[in-house]
Structure 1
Amino acid sequence: MDADDDTVSPRVIPADALRLPGSRTLRFEGVHHGSGVSFFLVTNSPGQGPGLHRHPYTETWSVLEGRATIRIGEHEVVARVGDTAVVPPDTWHRFTNTGDGDLRMICIHASPVMIQENADDAR
């Protein structure tokens, strides 16, 4: 990129560069790639999912495969393939793969930097 040129050259970020160690899940943090959003591309086995946590921005989930039981605040919902769930800022939430096979879900963070407070840390 030229100093006078503010365009970004198209590029592909290999999945292996985003894969969490020892996991099938990918973590993309936008700030490192010139993007205003971040995301997890989750692949979880039945029973897996993160603990209760929250972010100071909106998180949007889209289920690509499987079934997720999602807690958003005091509410619990079930999302299936093609369903989308939105978590408001500062709302405690979590999800669990409650299907029989893999859960594949994209979790979009409306921030170029992921900021997360875990409920276990807040006590």
Structure 2
Amino acid sequence: MARHDFDPATVQPDGRPAAKATLFNAAGEGPWRGSVPGLDLQGPVTVLAYGTDEIGVGPRLHVHPYDETFIVVAGHGRFFVGETVIDAAAGEIVLGPAGVPHKFENLGPGRLQTIDIHHSRTWIQTDLEEIA
């Protein structure tokens, strides 16, 4: 299906060059595989890669002053966003709105792998619970 949502003549490039950065080393260890601040690419978002093979494990409860979008790349996760609980599987996306505390965990079986998009040029976070 061809798309024609806008007239390209109405948008002028802002002069930024195309850019590239490494998000993670595919052979790397640990759940936090890497992050790329939007500042490094002169872009509007910061991107993180997270993954774990441990069932029931995930980032602790935290909050951001901006939206965060979670893309489930592999596995099954349970997302706690404010008072809402959302189960999501590979290919699904979850939104954590600005100012709403959130966390997620691996439901299994197998690995949970996410790409987390912080709608900010830098990663800004306040943790609301300690590591157990």
The worse-fitting range, judged by mean Cα deviation, of 87-96 and 24-33 is 24-33
Q: Which amino acid aligns with 2:76?
A: R
State the match for 2:3 in structure 1.
Answer: none
Gaps of 5+ in 2: 1-14
Q: What is the TM-score when the length of structure 2 is the normalising length?
A: 0.76
Partner of 2:5: none
Cross-structure match for 2:20: 12
Out of 25, 38, 47, the residue aligned to residue 39 of structure 1 is: 47
TM-score by length of 1: 0.81
Instruction: Report the count of equivalent residues.
Output: 114
Where does the alignment leave 5 or more consecutive residues of structure 1 unmatched?
1-5
Counterpart Cα distance in 1 of 2:22 and 2:118: 20
Q: CA RMSD in A?
A: 2.3
After superposing on structure 2, the runs of 4+ consecutive aligned residues of structure 1 that deviate more than 4 Å are none
Shift of the alpha carbon at 1:43? Answer: 1.8
Q: Percent identity?
A: 27
In the alignment, the residues of structure 1 paired with residue 85 and residue 24 of structure 2 have an alpha-carbon distance, to the nearest angstrom, of 33
Alignment partner of 2:104 out of 82, 92, 95: 95
CA distance in 1, matches of 2:23, 2:126: 26
Please tell me whether residue 74 in structure 1 is matched to residue 83 in structure 2. yes
